[in-house]
Amino acid sequence: MNTNHKTRDTAGAPILAAAGMQFFGRMSAAATHEIKNTLAIINENAGLLEDLTLMAEKGQPLSTERVKDISKRLAKQVHRADLILKKLNRLSHSVDLTRERVDLEKAVIFVLDLAGRLLEMQQVTVEITPPPSPVVVDTNLFYLQTGIWMAIDMACCCADQEKQVNISFGTDSTIPSVWFSMGRADKDQKGDNMKALFESVEDQALLAYLGIVIEKNNKNNGFGLLWTKCG
């Protein structure tokens, strides 16, 4: 057993837990907000059906095409809500195992999907370049997801005016890595944000727990997460 890892666990446990809770809270809030929007549309469609029924009772012909259309809209929103709940459920189950082998690309895609609404609110576009072969790390899935979100959030803050973030994966199989680039290097505010990368106590605790080192890439206004200690 890796005793260093166990020591890391105990020492930073409360701060780590706080970082995890913040991530979980943010994702849950975004998901539940979206579900509320879905319910609002379902509610209005149900109200519309009621309106049409009342009008039919007063002698106005009821269009079956209209009713079919409303029915399809309702089904679409139910499906949408179901997808959101599936993602939330998957996030909730990511705490089931303390440690497992995780495909980094799949983890990144999941977190982007989970945070879709948040990224939309910031009007940020994210593009992923898949790795030539799977990049796998042995880690705690929940905290990995927390770390990925932390990196995505940071990338969005540092993104230039085009608000485009590109994610790619390193090719060195001995040091798994994920790279975030946010366009051209900018001298002003974005450059200042890059200086303060992951300096909070929570960020530092998370990076230490996951065995991640941050490497800046000033050429493309980016940074990388490098797994120097797998396991």
The two three-digit tokens of residue 87, written as one number: 């993602």
Name the residue nearer to other proteins (CB basis): 70 or 213: 70
Question: Of how many residues is the chain composed?
Answer: 231
Binder of other proteins out of 9, 44, 127, 162 (CB under 8 A): 44
Is 26 an interacting residue with respect to other proteins (CB under 8 A)?
A: no
Q: CB atoms < 10 A from the CB of 21, how many? A: 12
Q: Do 111 and 145 meet the contact criterion of CB atoms below 8 Å apart? A: yes
The interface region with other proteins, picked from 16-24, 39-47, 184-192, 215-223 by CB under 8 A, is: 39-47
Is 95 an interacting residue with respect to other proteins (CB under 8 A)?
A: no
Name the residue nearer to other proteins (CB basis): 52 or 213: 52
Binder of other proteins out of 22, 28, 48, 217 (CB under 8 A): 48
Binders of other proteins in range 192-221 (CB under 8 A)? none
Binder of other proteins out of 6, 11, 47, 85 (CB under 8 A): 47
Q: CB atoms < 10 A from the CB of 188, how many? A: 7
Instruction: State how far the Cα of 190 lies from the Cα of 165, in Å rounded to an integer.
Output: 13
Is 45 an interacting residue with respect to other proteins (CB under 8 A)?
A: yes
Binder of other proteins out of 3, 10, 64, 123 (CB under 8 A): 123
Q: Which residues contact 176 (CB under 8 A, 6 or more apart)?
A: 104, 135, 136, 137, 169, 170, 226, 227, 230
Q: CB atoms < 10 A from the CB of 144, how many? A: 24
Name the residue nearer to other proteins (CB basis): 5 or 36: 36
Closest CA relative to residue 227, chosen from 170, 161, 182: 170
Site of interaction with other proteins (CB under 8 A): 29, 32-33, 36-37, 39-45, 47-48, 51, 73, 77, 120-123
